[in-house]
Structure 1
Amino acid sequence: MTRTDAALHATLRSRAEGLAAPLPALLAQAEHLAASVLPGAHGRRRAGTGDEFWQYRPATASDWGARIDWRRSARSDAHFVRETEWQAAQAVTLWVDQSQAMAFFGHKSRPSKADRAKVLALALAVLLLKGGERVGLMPDLPPRAGRAQLDPLAARLVDTASGDDYGAPPMIVLPPHSQTVFLSDFLGDQTALQDAVGRAADQGVRGTLVQVLDPAEEEFPFQGRSIFTSMGGRLRHETLRAADLRARYRDRLAERKDMLAGLARATGWHMLTHHTDQPAGLVLMSLWQQLDARRVV
Structure 2
Amino acid sequence: MSDILALRPRAEALGQALPPLMASAEHLAATVILGEHGRRRAGMGDEFWQYRPAHEGDTARMIDWRRSARSDAHFVREREWQAAQTVVLWVDASRSMSFTGDRSRESKADRARLVALAVAVLLLRAGERVGLSGEAAPPRSGRQQILRLADALADEAAADYGRPETTGLVAHGRMVFLSDFLGDMAGIEAAMARAAERGVRGALLQVLDPAEEAFPFDGRTIFESMGGSIRHETLRAGDLRARYLERLAQRKDHLATLARASGWHYHCHHTGQAALPALLWLYRALERVG
Identify the TM-score tier after normalising by the shorter chain: 0.7 to 0.9
Contiguous gaps of at least 5 residues in structure 1: 1-18
Give the corresponding residue for 2:118.
Answer: 123
Give the corresponding residue for 1:153.
Answer: 149
Give the corresponding residue for 2:274.
Answer: 279
Give the corresponding residue for 2:199.
Answer: 204
Distance 1:67 1:292 in 2: 33
Give the corresponding residue for 2:16.
Answer: 35
Give the corresponding residue for 2:225.
Answer: 230
SS in 2 for 1:204: coil
Q: Does 1:247 align with 2:228?
A: no
Q: Does 1:214 align with 2:195?
A: no
**Alpha-carbon distance, 1:61 to partner:** 7.0
Letter in 1 for 2:10: Q
Letter in 2 for 1:35: Q
Distance 2:69 2:97 in 1: 59
**Alpha-carbon distance, 1:124 to partner:** 0.7
Sort the Cα spacing of 1:83 and 1:33 in 2 relative to 1 into closer, same or farther, 3 A.
farther
Residues 252-297 of structure 1, C-alpha deviations (whole Å, 9 max, x = no match): 10111121112112222211111112222222122122223336xx
Q: 1:49 aligns with which of 26, 43, 50?
A: 43
Give the corresponding residue for 1:12.
Answer: none
Letter in 1 for 2:13: H
SS in 1 for 2:110: helix
- The TM-score, its normalising length taken from structure 1, stands at 0.82
Residues 118-166 of structure 1, C-alpha deviations (whole Å, 9 max, x = no match): 01111111111111111110111321111121111110102x1011110
Aligned length: 273
Distance 1:147 1:73 in 2: 44
Distance 1:67 1:182 in 2: 46
SS in 2 for 1:86: coil
Select between 39-48 and 81-90 the one with higher mean Cα deviation: 39-48
SS in 1 for 2:153: helix
- The TM-score, its normalising length taken from structure 2, stands at 0.84
SS in 2 for 1:274: strand
Report the identity percentage.
52
Sort the Cα spacing of 1:172 and 1:23 in 2 relative to 1 into closer, same or farther, 3 A.
closer
**Alpha-carbon distance, 1:109 to partner:** 3.3
Contact 2:220 2:236 in 1 (8 A): yes
Q: Does 1:100 align with 2:81?
A: no
Select between 251-260 and 138-147 the one with higher mean Cα deviation: 138-147
What pairs with 1:1-40 in structure 2 (closer than 5 Å)? Answer: 19=1, 21-38=2-19
Give the corresponding residue for 1:290.
Answer: 285
What pairs with 1:76-95 in structure 2 (closer than 5 Å)? Answer: 83-95=78-90
Residues 14-49 of structure 1, C-alpha deviations (whole Å, 9 max, x = no match): xxxxx3x22441111111111012379894552333
Residues 193-240 of structure 1, C-alpha deviations (whole Å, 9 max, x = no match): 111111111111112111111111111111222111111122211222
Sort the Cα spacing of 1:37 and 1:279 in 2 relative to 1 into closer, same or farther, 3 A.
farther
Give the corresponding residue for 2:28.
Answer: none
SS in 2 for 1:210: strand
Contact 2:107 2:271 in 1 (8 A): yes
Tell me: higher relative CO, structure 1 or 2? Use CA pairs within 8 A at least 6 residues apart.
Answer: 2
SS in 1 for 2:146: helix
Distance 1:273 1:125 in 2: 20
Distance 1:24 1:173 in 2: 24
Letter in 1 for 2:190: D
RMSD between superposed Cα atoms in Å: 2.7
Distance 1:73 1:120 in 2: 52
Letter in 2 for 1:205: V
